[in-house]
Amino acid sequence: MSFTHPKRVTLLGSTGSIGTQALDVIRAYPGRFTVTALSAQSNADLLVQQAREFQPAVVVIGDEAKYEIVKTALAQQPTEVLAGPAALADVAGRDDADVVLTAMVGYAGLLPTVRAIRAGKTIALANKETLVVAGQLITQLVKEHGVGLYPVDSEHSAIFQCLVGEERNPIEKIILTASGGPFRGRTAEQLATVTKAQALKHPNWDMGAKITIDSASLMNKGLEVIEAKWLFNLTDEQIDVVVHPQSIIHSLVQFEDGSLKAQLGLPDMKLPIQYALGYPERLPSSFPRFSFLDYPQLTFEQPDRATFRNLPLAFEAMRRGGNAPCVLNAANEIAVARFLRDEIGFLQMPDLVESCLTKVSYLAEPSLDDYVLTDQETRRVAQELVKRL
């Protein structure tokens, strides 16, 4: 396929795990992609380094206290420097981008993604929380503005790849695979004393702290379940989870005739990032190749929902709908932050999430403003509950 100019990419969250790997992909295709904007929350030094290399038109530092550091460091180059969440949302809707890759962590990605969709931008979505918090609203906006929404999560990329060419064939079920994390097979008694250092040692993936803890608690899989519902227009009953410790099969689709399609590959996020940025083309790569001889056994098992309670809590929030998934997400963000600060234990994270789902006001049909208020209310409630744990 021919192209008239490099695809212009706005990268939100450029200093995180997904962001830095996305820049590796862009770096490998200098004639295919160019960077128009970069953003980071607080890593000013890396943001400056990236801006000097990729020469974007604008950068945004979320932490306004670090604005002068970035501004001074980039004074000799023609890059506009902005700061704060309002600037981040504005940059997401700029005219000089073809695709916005949202690689921010957590709820913070929602409003910039909404702005990008309303501006008609193609979305490469690595921020699963956007669809968890406001899936119905986001899918309506995507349809209304006629934009492409391409998943970057390895599991959702796998499903997306399996569905290409199957537009006329209804899905019977999708199966999301989970590695099981570092604590697969542990009992609740054993989990009661695990440390954050142990939880941060994922067996297969190299990720940021938040998603690594979510993977250890199986909340990440719960969030992905909700994300999949909206991405692929599924009912709750059409989504299943299976533990696959090798992380080679990234997910599967079952069709009405019983046939299963799976996408396989080594656990490397660069491939789904590249697929989303290059879609509908598959760009050649030098990534390591998977060999069955290196993995003579691929195994599968049921997740332990009784021990890892975040997974059934996510399914329940999905079934309730409305603002319940927004509550789930906000409570989990507080729980993970407090766990990483050694203020609560591993098993107290689902306790906090469950309590918030009970205590925060339920809304069946929330607006965007309602989601914002729900997120704020849940964080207040969670902060108070932490004091009692």
Q: Give the other-Cβ count within 10 Å of 95's Cβ.
A: 9
Does the annotation place 214 within a ligand binding site? no
Does the annotation place 224 within a ligand binding site? yes
How high is the pLDDT of residue 1? 38
191: in domain: no
pLDDT tens-digit series, residues 21-69: 999 999 999 999 999 999 999 999 999 999 999 999 999 999 999 999 9
332: in domain: yes
Does the annotation place 145 within a ligand binding site? no
Does the annotation place 229 within a ligand binding site? no
> Among residues 87, 116, 151, which one ends one of the domains?
151
Does the annotation place 221 within a ligand binding site? yes
Does the annotation place 189 within a ligand binding site? no
> Among residues 151, 178, 210, which one ends one of the domains?
151
Does the annotation place 15 within a ligand binding site? yes
Q: Is the pLDDT of residue 206 over 80?
A: no
Does the annotation place 237 within a ligand binding site? no
338: in domain: yes
186: in domain: no
Which comes out higher in pLDDT, residue 205 or 343? 343
Q: Kindly provide the b/e burial profile for residues 254-292, where b requires at least 16 CB atoms within 10 angstroms of the residue's own CB.
A: bbeeeeebbbebbbbbebbbbbbbbbeeeeebeeeeeee
Kindly list the distances between the CA atom of residue 148 and the CA atoms of 2, 37, 117, 118, 124, in Å, as whole numbers in the listed order. Answer: 19, 19, 9, 12, 8
Please tell me the distance from the alpha carbon of residue 157 to that of residue 228, in angstroms, as a whole number: 10
200: in domain: no
> Which CATH number covers residue 119?
3.40.50.720
pLDDT tens-digit series, residues 293-315: 999 999 999 999 999 999 999 99
Please tell me the distance from the alpha carbon of residue 70 to that of residue 280, in angstroms, as a whole number: 36
122: in domain: yes
> Among residues 105, 124, 151, which one ends one of the domains?
151
269: in domain: no
Does the annotation place 43 within a ligand binding site? yes
Range of the structural domain that residue 369 is part of: 321-389
Does the annotation place 127 within a ligand binding site? yes
Does the annotation place 179 within a ligand binding site? yes
Does the annotation place 129 within a ligand binding site? yes
pLDDT tens-digit series, residues 100-153: 999 998 999 999 999 999 999 999 999 999 999 999 999 999 999 999 999 999
Does the annotation place 257 within a ligand binding site? no
> Which CATH number covers residue 371?
1.10.1740.10
Does the annotation place 208 within a ligand binding site? yes
Q: How is residue 121 annotated by DSSP?
A: -
Does the annotation place 236 within a ligand binding site? no
90: in domain: yes
Q: Could you tell me what percent of the chain has a pLDDT over 90?
A: 94
Does the annotation place 354 within a ligand binding site? no
Q: Kindly provide the b/e burial profile for residues 165-199, where b requires at least 16 CB atoms within 10 angstroms of the residue's own CB.
A: eeeeeebebbbbbbbbbbbbebeeeebeebebeeb
